Amino acid sequence: MSGLLWFVVFLLGTLVLAYQRVSLLVSTFVYGLGLLVFIWTTGTTNIVILTLLWLGLAVLVLLNINTLRIRLISRPFLRTYRRMLPSMSQTEKDALEAGTVWWDGQLFSGGPDWDKLMAATAPRLSAEEQAFLDGPCEELCRITDDWDVTHRRGDLPPHIWDYLRSKGFFAMIIPKKYGGLEFSAYAHSCVLVKLSSRSGVLASTVAVPNSLGPAELLLHYGTESQKTYYLPRLARGEEIPCFALTGPRAGSDAASIPDTGVITKGMYEGREIVGVTLNFSKRYITLAPVATVIGLAFKLLDPQRLLGGERTEYGITCALIPRHTPGVTIGRRHFPLNVPFQNGPIQGKDVFVPLDFIIGGTAMAGQGWRMLVEQLSVGRCISLPSSTTGAAKAAVFATSAYARIRRQFNVSIGQFEGVSEVMARMAGRSYIMDAARSVTAGAIDGGEKPSVPSAMLKYHLTEMARTVASDAMDVHGGKGICLGPRNYLGRAYQIVPVAITVEGANILTRSLIIFGQGAIRCHPFVLREMNAARDKDKQRGLKEFDAALFGHIGFTISNAVRSLVMALTLARFSRVPQSSTQRYFQHINRFSASFAFATDVAMLSLGGYLKKKESLSARLGDVLSNMYLASMVLKHYDNQGSQQDDLPLVEWACRSLLYQAQEQLHTFLRNFPNRFLAAFMRFFIFPRGQTYHAPSDPLGQHVVDSIFYNSQTRDRLTLGVYRTVEAGNPLGLLQEALVLADAAEPLEKRVRVEGVKTGRVTALDLPGQIQQALKAGILSETEAAVLRDYDRRVLDLINVDDFAPEEMAAVTLPAEVRSARVSSG
């Protein structure tokens, strides 16, 4: 063999070993064997080549001797690493350790194990849960008049509050032994999907008590007596909870709350006891104006050491404070963007409560932040992702029907390419949202508490909802803008910024949380290295650090090679489940390797500074999120029985997500501060440039075709939307018109072609044209009746509301005030 051929063999051998993640020991053995074969077959005596090759083997052998490796490499490196390691507060540690690592960890590995994801059972509703959706949920939607709630009343009417309490809507997460419904995460999510398709106020009101708040905290940390007192009362709706963390000075930086609880002696119910004196000012608290019990977060201080310990500062603590406790001011309301769910401020001045008001008692003093972050992941995966998915589904359901029945230029507006492009985007994004919320809820039901995915879902699903709501408004034109009982979009559009802001405002979540938490939590080696570096037992720490460091080096090399090979071959040979969607699995494999490699280079070169470079970590977070969402789409498709008709949606979703992943990686490299390293990474990540394309126009058209007509794909995509055909439910009436359009459209066309175009029909409006077409024999009596009925329904649906000037005031003023204003003005 020639020298060149040997070089190629050596290179390929190295690539295969690295690609397959072969261990250092085996790699050394293979290298040694190859060296012997090379010398034996070539008989080379070239001293330079031989020296280099033997030197290579010597290095590999030395690296296999642990004690030598530790002394020469790991120990000096650990010293530098300790200096570079950013200090971490307990609050940050708690946040990092909260929840579990799930599919996010696989994506960080550079070689996700698809069998694990695909083997997970699909989420299913129990008979009882399905009955709740078909019964109380359906009925609740029927009796809710969103216009009355949002415009006239500024609140849910009393009979709806009663219905919510009596049917257990506030008790979905409370176990049956306390009188709750004990629903699965998936069922909980489906309830919110349905409610939000009807009314944002309804969904927000139900979401909060079932998310992070008193019930959840009591369940996990409450004392037995707190549980037995409060949980049955919460389940029966006798107590309405709220949870108060945010204040004027502490929003996103919630751990900096200045609210205090000082351990003091004081009088309570006629007796002197040791208790807590609270002073606090909270705002934006959902349900506060109507709450009977406040879950309160404050910083606990014990200056007189009355708790018996050495400490005077305990940190964030949570307590349950009854509404009527002296010193509490509660009841005023904020006005969140014309979607007036109950939300308002709470102040407390020298509020004295017993110690057993602390959730979990004094044993949990100072544990508040850990409690909050530990429990945040589950609620954050469900409340906002489900509510926004419901709203997006409703928008797609309504918009596709409206775009079919609304004609301009004698064509359904949905048939214009421009409108169709927007509708494809809406449908594709709604599919992604539905996939992400249901598969992740299934994972929660399987025992996971996915922390990083909860941040990804929160950010991406609320952002997608924002675009879906905007797109729906655009397609509806003036119909979406004029508010009134006939408007089914305006309030959903108005509530979107609320979802963007709460549970971790979106800019912060994208810039700081997703990648920041993911990189440490999900990376197979980083947390191990950090813990080893902080280990008080230096010897044990050094050994563990050495193992993690060399695992990490091998991991990085392997991911670089995997990224290069898969980018060159477009991942065609990467092993994935065999299916009609296998190419998308393969592309995720490729991006996973590229992402893992880029992450390591960024962390190694920027260290703690990466935390400050928020735009870079946000982009890496986007890559991770796009891969996560695409994985959820593939699993969801499989969960729904791989219906061929849904393939355009799956393809649109995966293409747009993976295209985004590619573009974010590209932008990350363009902005990477060290240009040499950026070029180095680019060689391994984009050796052929950016080869991945966004969804094509024809694919978008296929997506629209699958929802523009009454079809099973449309039903699956919009499953859960409140679509009962009845007066007052525009969504049901739109669906009815969509079905009727199949019969009416050919008749309308006949009138146009045989009547209008030939001059036999001259009327300008459809009713007149129908009349003339009937006389001219173009339509039969029956056909004319079908078309008239359809036209009447369509007109009813495209009409908007108008109001007398005095009706425009949200609060009807007394007649004398109105007349005084009119006469003076």
Ligand X SMILES: Cc1cc2nc3c(=O)[nH]c(=O)nc-3n(C[C@H](O)[C@H](O)[C@H](O)COP(=O)(O)OP(=O)(O)OC[C@H]3O[C@@H](n4cnc5c(N)ncnc54)[C@H](O)[C@@H]3O)c2cc1C
Looking at beta carbons only, is 120 or 346 nearer to ligand X? 346
Instruction: Report the candidate in 714, 581, 599 with the shortest Cα–Cα distance to residue 658.
Output: 581
Tokens of 570: 């477009």
Looking at beta carbons only, is 381 or 653 nearer to ligand X? 381
Min dist CB 267 to ligand X, Å, is 30
* Contact by Cβ (8 Å): 201, 164: no
Looking at beta carbons only, is 507 or 763 nearer to ligand X? 507
User: Residue 410 is which amino acid?
Assistant: N
Looking at beta carbons only, is 467 or 579 nearer to ligand X? 467
Min dist CB 576 to ligand X, Å, is 36
Long-range contacts of 129-137 (CB under 8 A, 24+ apart): 129/183, 129/184, 129/187, 129/190, 132/181, 132/183, 132/187, 132/191, 133/187, 133/190, 133/191, 133/194, 133/720, 136/163, 136/167, 136/168, 136/169, 137/191, 137/194, 137/195
Query: Could you confirm whether 138 is annotated as catalytic?
Result: no
The answer to whether the Cα torsion of 319, 320, 324, 330 is positive or negative is: positive
Half-sphere exposure of 376 (CA within 13 A, CB side): 23
List residues near ligand X by CB under 6 A: 242-246, 251-252, 284-286, 336, 343, 498, 501-502, 505, 507-508, 511-512, 614
Min dist CB 599 to ligand X, Å, is 20
Min dist CB 192 to ligand X, Å, is 16
Min dist CB 359 to ligand X, Å, is 15
The one catalytic residue among 182, 216, 374, 503:
503
Rounded to the nearest angstrom, the gap between the alpha carbon of residue 503 and the centroid of all alpha carbons in its chain is: 11
Question: How many other CB atoms sit within 10 Å of the CB of residue 253?
Answer: 9
For the chain, counts of helices (H) and of strands (E): 36, 9
Measured between alpha carbons, how far is residue 256 from residues 26, 253, 730 in Å? 52, 6, 46
Close Cβ partners of 547 (under 8 Å, ≥ 6 residues apart): 528
| The three-state (H, E, C) secondary structure of 442-504, written as one string | HHHHCCCCEHHHHHHHHHHHHHHHHHHHHHHHHHHCHHHHCCCCCCCCHHHHHHHHHHHHCCC
Looking at beta carbons only, is 120 or 519 nearer to ligand X? 519
Give the C-alpha separation, 571 to 110, whole Å: 13
Q: What length is written for the chain?
A: 825
Give the C-alpha separation, 74 to 642, whole Å: 50
Min dist CB 494 to ligand X, Å, is 12
Min dist CB 509 to ligand X, Å, is 7
N-to-C CA span, the chain: 101
* Contact by Cβ (8 Å): 564, 687: yes
Min dist CB 499 to ligand X, Å, is 9
Question: How many other CB atoms sit within 10 Å of the CB of residue 342?
Answer: 24
User: Residue 817 is which amino acid?
Assistant: V
Q: Which helix (H) or strand (E) holds 381?
A: helix 368-405
Min dist CB 502 to ligand X, Å, is 5
Min dist CB 339 to ligand X, Å, is 9
Q: Give me the residue whose beta carbon is nearest to ligand X.
A: 251
Instruction: Report the candidate in 764, 765, 650 with the shortest Cα–Cα distance to residue 713.
Output: 650
Q: What are phi and psi of 262, to 5 degrees?
A: -105, 130
The residue behind tokens 């409108």 is 419
Question: How many other CB atoms sit within 10 Å of the CB of residue 274?
Answer: 17
* Contact by Cβ (8 Å): 703, 652: yes
Q: What are phi and psi of 197, to 5 degrees?
A: -75, -15
Looking at beta carbons only, is 53 or 245 nearer to ligand X? 245
Min dist CB 344 to ligand X, Å, is 10
Strand-pair partners of 279: 260
Looking at beta carbons only, is 421 or 614 nearer to ligand X? 614
Min dist CB 213 to ligand X, Å, is 8
Min dist CB 222 to ligand X, Å, is 19
The residue behind tokens 């977070």 is 621
Task: Characterise 743 by phi-psi region: left (phi > 0), alpha (psi -120 to 50), beta (else).
Answer: alpha
Spell out the alpha helix ranges (H) of 98-199.
103-108, 114-119, 127-132, 138-143, 146-147, 158-166, 185-198
User: Residue 337 is which amino acid?
Assistant: L
The answer to whether the Cα torsion of 296, 298, 303, 309 is positive or negative is: positive
Catalytic residues, by residue number, are 503
